[in-house]
């Protein structure tokens, strides 16, 4: 009911999620974990692992409105994990997947309908400003308000009035904290082709950075094998730029998940955010390879 030759409207993505749950009720379920600022549902898809106590992985897409390849790749991942379940190996089946394909539905639709390069959510202007929107990847509550974020509502990297001021980030935090067995957090963005791990808030690394690098390298290798893209691996702050309040840092620093990654999908700047539709498929295959590789690290040995 979905294809990956074009970018889709939010309603089609949501219909696809509902369709998957209706068609594969023993394996897939949908729930609404919150509501966006503009009243749109945050639809989370669960793909159950083979055992009820299976390790679980969180995957999200579409935190940033203009990064259309991210929800496209994440819906591809869902489709593959469900329809071609056998093909993706024991690990993919031994893990429970929680997938939020569009974290920022209001921004996504705004980018489709009004302003292609819109980044933030659509939080209405508060007192003393005419600017809308909060950067959801500056709004998470770990080192919130630090380097690479802004207190000015008109800026692209506006962190919001306070940590978790936005319903989209608050819903993720509530869900992640209350879900047992979550071991990994994987957030898909674009562009640049990077596999990034904490920390993002500064040019420093957590104590287990060597383990995060090892798995990150594996992910990058699998991505290249999948469709040829080469991805650089490193800690976000030192590799890209320091930026506080990201989902990855919060998932590790506050929620205590060990493996947390931000993957910047294609390309390396030729098209940037406006990635042509014929590149959806190869990019989505790379995203699937990254997610599968991470799942393999979590799955209990056979
Ligand atoms: O700046 C961001 O939020 C991400 N790059 S993007 O071009 N997609 O906007 C990078 C986030 C990396 N992680 C942290 N800085 N925590
Ligand atoms: Zn982004």
**Domain with 171 in it:** 10-114+167-298
pLDDT given for residue 270 in this prediction:
98
Q: Is residue 25 part of a domain?
A: yes
Q: Is residue 3 part of a domain?
A: no
User: Which residues are designated catalytic?
Assistant: 264
Residue pLDDT, tens place only, 194-241: 999 999 999 999 999 999 999 999 999 999 999 999 999 999 999 999
Looking from the CA of residue 192, the nearest atom of ligand 1 is 7
Q: Is residue 33 part of a domain?
A: yes
Residue 302 has pLDDT above 80, yes or no: no
- Counting ligands in written order, the one closest to the CA of 137 is 1
- Counting ligands in written order, the one closest to the CA of 135 is 1
Q: Is residue 16 part of a domain?
A: yes
Residue 1 has pLDDT above 80, yes or no: no
> What is the DSSP secondary structure assignment for residue 275, as one 8-state letter?
-
Q: Is residue 159 part of a domain?
A: no
For ligand 1, is residue 246 a contact (CB within 6 Å)? yes
Q: From ligand 2's centre to the CA of 189, what distance in Å?
A: 4
pLDDT given for residue 301 in this prediction:
79
Looking from the CA of residue 190, the nearest atom of ligand 1 is 8
Looking from the CA of residue 247, the nearest atom of ligand 1 is 16
pLDDT given for residue 39 in this prediction:
98
Q: By percentage, how much of the chain surpasses pLDDT 70? A: 100
Written in H, E and C, the secondary structure of 208-238 is CHHHHHHHHHHHHHHHHHHHCCCCEEEEHHH
Residue 72 has pLDDT above 90, yes or no: yes
Total number of domains in the chain: 1
Mean pLDDT of 173-178: 98
Q: Is residue 189 part of a domain?
A: yes
CATH of the domain at 269: 3.40.630.10
Pick from 276, 302, 298: which is nearest to 5 by CA? 276
Sign of CA dihedral 196, 199, 202, 203: negative
Q: Is residue 155 part of a domain?
A: no
Q: Is residue 76 part of a domain?
A: yes
Query: ipTM of the assembly?
Result: 0.99
Residue 106 CA to residue 141 CA, distance in Å, equals 21
Please identify every residue whose CB atom is under 5 Å from ligand 2, which is an ion.
64, 67, 189
pLDDT given for residue 139 in this prediction:
99
Residue 91: pLDDT band (50, 70, 90) is confident
pLDDT given for residue 283 in this prediction:
99
pLDDT given for residue 255 in this prediction:
98
Query: Which residue has its alpha carbon closest to ligand 1 atom 3?
Result: 137
> What is the DSSP secondary structure assignment for residue 186, as one 8-state letter?
E
């Amino acid at each position: 009911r979905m294809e990956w030759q074009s970018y889709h409207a939010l309603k089609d993505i949501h219909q696809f999620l509902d369709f998957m749950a209706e068609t594969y009720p023993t394996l897939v379920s949908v729930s609404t974990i919150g509501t966006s600022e503009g009243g749109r549902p945050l639809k989370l898809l669960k793909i159950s692992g083979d055992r009820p106590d299976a390790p679980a992985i969180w995957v999200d897409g579409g935190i940033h409105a203009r990064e259309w390849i991210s929800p496209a790749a994440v819906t591809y991942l869902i489709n593959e994990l469900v329809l071609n379940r056998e093909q993706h190996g024991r690990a993919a089946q031994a893990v429970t997947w929680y997938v939020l394909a569009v974290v920022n539905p209001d921004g996504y639709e705004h980018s489709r309908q009004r302003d292609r390069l819109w980044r933030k959510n659509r939080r209405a202007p508060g007192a003393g400003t005419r600017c809308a929107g909060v950067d959801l990847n500056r709004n998470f509550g770990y080192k919130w308000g630090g380097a690479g974020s802004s207190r000015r509502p008109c800026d692209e990297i506006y962190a919001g009035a306070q940590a978790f001021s936005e319903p989209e980030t608050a819903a993720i935090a509530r869900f992640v904290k209350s879900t047992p067995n979550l071991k990994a957090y994987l957030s898909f963005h674009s562009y640049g082709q990077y596999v990034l791990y904490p920390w993002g808030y500064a040019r420093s690394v957590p104590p287990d950075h060597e383990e995060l690098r090892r798995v990150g390298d594996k992910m990058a290798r699998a991505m290249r094998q999948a469709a040829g893209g080469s991805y650089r691996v490193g800690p976000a702050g030192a590799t890209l730029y320091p930026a506080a309040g990201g989902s990855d840092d919060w998932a590790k620093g506050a929620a205590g998940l060990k493996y947390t990654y931000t993957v910047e999908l294609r390309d390396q700047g030729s098209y940037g955010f406006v990635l042509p539709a014929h590149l959806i498929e190869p990019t989505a295959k790379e995203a699937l390879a990254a997610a599968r590789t991470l799942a393999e690290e979590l799955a209990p040995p056979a």
